[in-house]
Amino acid sequence: MKHLMKTRRTIIAGNWKMFKTVNEAEALVKGLLLELPDVSSIDVVLCPPFTALSRVADLVSNTSIRVGAQDMHWEKEGAFTGEISATMLRDVYCRYVILGHSERRQLFGETNESVNRKAKAALSASLRPIVCVGETLDEREKKDFRAIITRQVKESLAGIPAEQAEEIVVAYEPVWAIGTGRNATPAQAQEVHALIRTSLVALFGDKYAGNMRIQYGGSVKPNNAAELLGQPDIDGALVGGASLEARAFTAIIKAGL
Cβ at position 133, least distance to ligand 13P in Å: 12
Do 56 and 29 form a contact (C-beta atoms < 8 A)?
yes
Read off φ and ψ for residue 247, nearest 5 degrees. -65, -45
Residues that bind ligand 13P (CB under 6 A): 15, 101, 173, 178-179, 217-220, 238-242
**What's the DSSP call for residue 161?**
-
Identified catalytic residue from 73, 110, 173, 193: 173
**Min CB(102)–ligand 13P separation in Å:** 7
CB 110 within 8 A of CB 104: yes
User: Is 173 marked active-site?
Assistant: yes
Complex with ligand 13P: residue 119 or 220, whichever CB lies closer: 220
- Compute the distance between CA of residue 165 and CA of residue 237 in angstroms, rounded to an integer: 19
- For the question of residue 35 being annotated catalytic, the response is no
Looking at the Cβ atoms of 10 and 204, the one nearer to ligand 13P is 10
Residue nearest to ligand 13P (CB): 240
Spatial distance between the Cα atoms of 183 and 254, rounded to a whole number of angstroms: 19
- Using an 8 Å Cβ cutoff, are 120 and 100 in contact? no
We find the least distance from the C-beta atom of residue 135 to ligand 13P, in angstroms, to be 14
Cβ closer to ligand 13P: 59 or 218?
218
Annotated catalytic residues are 101, 173
